[in-house]
Amino acid sequence: MKAKIFSITLISLFISNLVFAQFKLSSIAFYTDYSYPLKKRLLVTKIDAVGGGAEISFSIFQNVQLSLTGGYSLFSLQQDSAIKLWNWRFYTERYAGIIRDNLRSDSTLAAYLNPIQKMDLTPLQLSIKGVFNPIKSFYIKPQVGAGIYFYTRRLYLEETWRKRFDEASYTFEYSYRNFATNKYGNPIGVFGLIELDYQPSEIFTIGTALGYNYFVKTPGKFGFDQFPINDYINFKIFLTFLY
């Protein structure tokens, strides 16, 4: 995952140098955000994320900026029939049978199996932003754009086993994690947001934004088939340094 983030950072820097060389640097912003999907897929019952990122903006016209945004969000999700839908062949074809046989042959043995899922999402977005100043020190910045969203879905089975020894009135317990093979993809998405900023000094602004991200349906391509959401809204808090 670190290698992927490093590669995306290099790509971002290359694109910014290539595309924005003729434009004037306007600002560099850092943000933290919370994301919540509106339409879930693949029998996902619950999912949300926290994350953060950075945005570089360049002035191209009066009150118009071109921005490059890179970020990272960690999604936690719950899914009905998670292991079956994952198509984890080691588990379904071999390991599930071992568990079943052990439990049938030993009445003093008990197992508690809990599938845990996470998803790393790293968007790389290009957008157009308007900058309006209706009141002194306050700014409204509508923004629309598109991007590629690199994801890695991770699943592991959290197993707790208990062995009861009736003669000693003792129960032995141990736990471990059994990891499935990761799933990857890079679906394409479009987004829009409204940012509200307050400028307490000439150096920086602070602000918030509410955005909506929608993923283009591309069955059979870009890992869309294993991507668990159709869209999400996100709430951001910004710290922006002005140039």
Question: By C-alpha distance, which of 188, 196, 182, 194 is closest to 233?
Answer: 194
Q: Does the domain formed by 2-242 have CATH 3.40.640.10?
A: no
pLDDT-derived band of residue 233, with 50, 70 and 90 as boundaries?
very high
pLDDT of 11: 57
- Residues 219-229 have pLDDT tens digits of 999 999 999 99
pLDDT of 239: 96
This prediction's pTM: 0.83
Q: Does 84 have pLDDT greater than 90? A: no
- CB neighbour list of residue 38: distance below 8 Å, 6 or more residues apart: 230, 231, 232, 233
- Residues 99-141 have pLDDT tens digits of 888 888 988 999 999 999 999 999 999 999 999 999 999 999 9
8 A C-beta contact, residue 23 and residue 66: yes
DSSP H stretches of helix in the chain: 2-19, 82-86, 89-90, 96-105
Listed by start position, the domains of the chain span 2-242
